Amino acid sequence: MSAAVKKDAHPFNKQNLEALLNSRFFYAPAFEIYGGVAGLYDYGPPGSSLQANIINEWRKHYIIEEGMLEVDTTILTPAPVFETSGHVARFADWMVKDKVNGEVLRADHLVEGVLEARLKGDKEAHGILADAAAAPEGEKKKKKKNVKSTAVKLEDSLVQEYESVLAQIDNYTGPQLGELIRKYNIVSPDTGNEVDEPVQFNLMFDSSIGPTGKQKGYLRPETAQGHFLNFSRLLQFNNGRLPFASAQIGRSFRNEISPRAGLLRVREFTMAEIEHYVDPLDKKHARFDEIQDIKLMLLPKDVQSAGRTDLLEISVGDAVSKGIIDNETLGYFLGRTYLFLVKIGINPHRLRFRQHMANEMAHYAADCWDAEIETSYGWIECVGCADRSAYDLTVHSKRTGQALVAQVTLPEPIVEEKVVFELNKKNFGKTFAKETEQVKNAITALDQDGLLKLQGDLKNGSAIINAEGKDYTLTPELLTIEWKTFKSHTREFTPNVIEPSFGIGRILYSVLEHSFWAREEDVARGVLSLPPNVAPTKCLIVPLSSNESFVPLVRDVSAKLRKAGVFSRVDDSNASIGKRYSRNDELGTPFGVTLDFASVQNGTMTLRERDTTDQRIGKIDDVIAVVQDLVQGTIDWPQACERLPAYDGVQAVAE
Ligand SMILES: Nc1ncnc2c1ncn2[C@@H]1O[C@H](COP(=O)(O)OP(=O)(O)OP(=O)(O)O)[C@@H](O)[C@H]1O
């Protein structure tokens, strides 16, 4: 039977995780030998594979399983696109400057960090936080400089005020953050100096396109606009039918004010975004029944506005029917997001969905929820899921004059009476000559009331119309205006967009934190319990001897694993078997097969499972079949144990 795994034998140790990620080159500061640049990271071999595997799972979970239309649009974007989308005016954060050394800090993060540290000091003073040393590294550093006396008792009323401010920290405007900074005497944690009033800073990197420098451009801060601009082609590709979704995985760039949280806040990152287009009158989802029973931990906006952070555990179905989540499609994506995150290794007990508060949400959005994951940095937004209504398609259509609309066939045709005009072209052209077009445009621009007034005036002999600042006289010989009946079999509308937007780096880091633990016997023996679907290497091949007779066997096992679609690596170093397995525990390799002299003689090999360190034995082909099933996720370890007997060491022929 499987040995019990004591994953909580040691408390989470961030320093040890960071040392592991660094030494095994999951990722590292970019341009390090030039001194590095804040917010830029390079991924090494295991980090790159982990990222590729997460993206692969994402593609399977969304693009393949949901039949989404994948696009790959450009990063470099001409300025008019972001002027229209509102990014040039509004894609900004509030920053404050240290009054003495000019260091720049993000205003909401400053308030949040300082109030959290003060609350922590209060808890220590009350003996609630006995183990101050267990505080995350970042906070310990802050405490040393900022909260000089770590254990300070706060007035009860102040504790409540701080908690209420923190519950709503994403909802404050710049001036409100300025008031909080003054009210609570918040100073720079690094220097203890006062800071200026918050000012807005636009996060987009700008550039110019072409050699003249006349065409301004930006590096995109999200992939979404590329989807919207291709809407008509995508709709056509989908045979004119709604709903459908486009999906894109690609790089985005944000000139973050003060990036300090490793992969969680960087200036260049990979996003995976979905734009799901729906009829605004029908936001039901055809597959809602598949996810409606999933229970989510929700943090609704009214709870936050009341200054609280308690979670509501509720099924997606109930949350939608009670109006907590705005509509089925949004609920469907929250449920699917939960399934995806748990599948790749996020602990479901440390995953919540937080609804945006009024100020936080864009004015056009109908509802917005962030999937937040708890890490040693606190609750971190990893996926934003917003109902953006018809905003994006409407503004781009207005600016470009291109219709970005869809049509549905009506079960019953709509019959409508409308006032319309018809020109007597000959008379009209003769009368207005070169000005014909502008007078015609002025009439076309009239709404129904305008046309009715014109009709009345014409009945009385003549009417005046103003075109481009000049008055023109119209008479009944020039045009007729009358009621007509229209029958329409279709309804035309601007689709609404529901957008789940994933930050791959934040998810990847959270997966690493949630899967890291240390063996009971030795805190330094770190393990990454990455699920097989995302683990960089699935199976380690460990030959116990460098004897010539092992060479063809290793080659044979490698080829068979490759054929079975299992990505493996051979570790034929001189290190002891224990060391070789430890190294791979740190890399998150879930399975290891060991080849010993019995393998050469009997054609058997042993299979080791990373978390339990359990070992089983079987014929090489049987073991490979089990590994294949384990990696594909069709069986789990207890089921593997039913197929392979326990290894008691007898068959092994020592080196
Ligand atoms: N600077 C960043 N570094 C890494 N990932 C990011 C960054 N900014 C955003 N993301 C990721 O992109 C996703 C969608 O972006 P969105 O615009 O909703 O984030 P945001 O609300 O601006 O994030 P935050 O409030 O933390 O700055 C986020 O959920 C996150 O996973």
- Per-domain boundaries in the chain: 14-74+220-391+497-506, 101-202, 411-490, 537-643
Is residue 547 scored above 90 in pLDDT? Answer: no
User: Among 85-99, 149-163, 239-253, 529-543, whose mean pLDDT is lowest?
Assistant: 149-163
- Give dist(CA 138, CA 146) in Å, integer: 12
Using a 6 Å cutoff on CB, does residue 505 contact ligand 1?
Answer: yes
- Give dist(CA 302, CA 306) in Å, integer: 6
Dihedral sign for Cα 637, 642, 648, 650, please: negative
Using a 6 Å cutoff on CB, does residue 385 contact ligand 1?
Answer: no
**Residue 650: band (very low, low, confident or very high) from pLDDT cuts 50, 70, 90:** low
Instruction: Express each pLDDT in 58-71 by its tens digit.
Output: 999 999 999 999 99
Residue with tokens 């525990």: 585
Which helix (H) or strand (E) segment holds residue 244: the answer is strand 244-253
CATH number for the domain formed by residue range(s) 14-74+220-391+497-506: 3.30.930.10
Q: Kindly give the interhelix angle for 107-125 and 137-145, rounded to the nearest 10 degrees.
A: 90
User: Average pLDDT of 506-520?
Assistant: 96
Distance from the alpha carbon of residue 20 to the mean position of ligand 1, in angstroms:
26
The pLDDT of residue 399 is: 96
Using a 6 Å cutoff on CB, does residue 265 contact ligand 1?
Answer: yes
Question: Identity (one letter) of the amino acid at 601?
Answer: Q
Distance from the alpha carbon of residue 548 to the mean position of ligand 1, in angstroms:
53
Is residue 407 scored above 60 in pLDDT? Answer: yes
User: Among 266-270, 543-547, 566-570, whose mean pLDDT is lowest?
Assistant: 543-547
Is residue 605 scored above 90 in pLDDT? Answer: yes
**Residue 4: band (very low, low, confident or very high) from pLDDT cuts 50, 70, 90:** low
Instruction: Express each pLDDT in 116-169 by its tens digit.
Output: 999 988 777 776 654 433 444 444 444 334 434 467 788 888 888 999 999 899
Q: If you classify domain 411-490 with CATH, what class do you get?
A: alpha beta
The pLDDT of residue 637 is: 97
Is residue 1 scored above 50 in pLDDT? Answer: no
The pLDDT of residue 571 is: 94
Is residue 526 scored above 60 in pLDDT? Answer: yes
Using a 6 Å cutoff on CB, does residue 276 contact ligand 1?
Answer: no
Is residue 560 scored above 70 in pLDDT? Answer: yes
Is residue 174 scored above 60 in pLDDT? Answer: yes
The pLDDT of residue 128 is: 65
The pLDDT of residue 649 is: 73
Is residue 8 scored above 80 in pLDDT? Answer: no
The pLDDT of residue 154 is: 85
Using a 6 Å cutoff on CB, does residue 506 contact ligand 1?
Answer: yes
Measured between alpha carbons, how far is residue 508 from residues 57, 261, 265, 383 in Å?
A: 12, 14, 13, 12
**Residue 549: band (very low, low, confident or very high) from pLDDT cuts 50, 70, 90:** confident
User: Average pLDDT of 623-641?
Assistant: 97
The pLDDT of residue 137 is: 41
Q: Name the closest-CA residue to atom 8, ligand 1.
A: 265
The pLDDT of residue 304 is: 93
Q: CA angle, corner 550, sides to 546 and 551, nearest 5?
A: 95
Measured between alpha carbons, how far is residue 528 from residues 293, 346, 516, 525, 631 in Å?
A: 31, 12, 5, 10, 16
158: which 2 tokens?
């102040």
Complex-level ipTM: 0.98
Is residue 389 scored above 60 in pLDDT? Answer: yes
> What length is written for the chain?
655
Using a 6 Å cutoff on CB, does residue 501 contact ligand 1?
Answer: yes
User: Average pLDDT of 403-416?
Assistant: 93
Using a 6 Å cutoff on CB, does residue 356 contact ligand 1?
Answer: no
User: Average pLDDT of 558-562?
Assistant: 97
Q: Where are the alpha helices (DSSP H) in 414-534?
A: 425-432, 436-444, 448-459, 504-515
Is residue 619 scored above 50 in pLDDT? Answer: yes
Using a 6 Å cutoff on CB, does residue 296 contact ligand 1?
Answer: no
Beta-carbon contacts of 180 under 8 Å, excluding residues fewer than 6 positions away, are 111, 165, 172, 186
Residue, of 140 and 290, whose pLDDT is higher: 290
473: which 2 tokens?
């006289």
pLDDT, the chain, mean: 92
Distance from the alpha carbon of residue 6 to the mean position of ligand 1, in angstroms:
34
**Which is the closest atom of ligand 1 to the Cα of 267?**
1
Identical fold at 101-202 and 537-643?
no
**Residue 343: band (very low, low, confident or very high) from pLDDT cuts 50, 70, 90:** very high
**What CATH superfamily classification does 537-643 receive?**
Anticodon-binding domain (3.40.50.800)
Best probe residue, ligand 1, of 506, 507, 509 (max atoms within 8 Å of C-beta): 506
Q: To the nearest whole percent, how much of the chain has pLDDT over 90?
A: 84
The pLDDT of residue 130 is: 42
The pLDDT of residue 654 is: 36
Dihedral sign for Cα 540, 543, 548, 553, please: negative
Using a 6 Å cutoff on CB, does residue 143 contact ligand 1?
Answer: no
Best probe residue, ligand 1, of 269, 340, 356 (max atoms within 8 Å of C-beta): 269
The pLDDT of residue 133 is: 39
- Give dist(CA 262, CA 298) in Å, integer: 27
DSSP reduced 3-state for 184: coil
Q: If you classify domain 101-202 with CATH, what class do you get?
A: alpha beta
Instruction: Express each pLDDT in 206-244 by its tens digit.
Output: 999 999 999 999 999 999 999 999 999 999 999 999 999
The pLDDT of residue 545 is: 86
Residue with tokens 């800071």: 195
Q: To the nearest whole percent, how much of the chain has pLDDT over 70?
A: 95
**Residue 2: band (very low, low, confident or very high) from pLDDT cuts 50, 70, 90:** very low
**Residue 521: band (very low, low, confident or very high) from pLDDT cuts 50, 70, 90:** confident
User: Average pLDDT of 282-301?
Assistant: 97
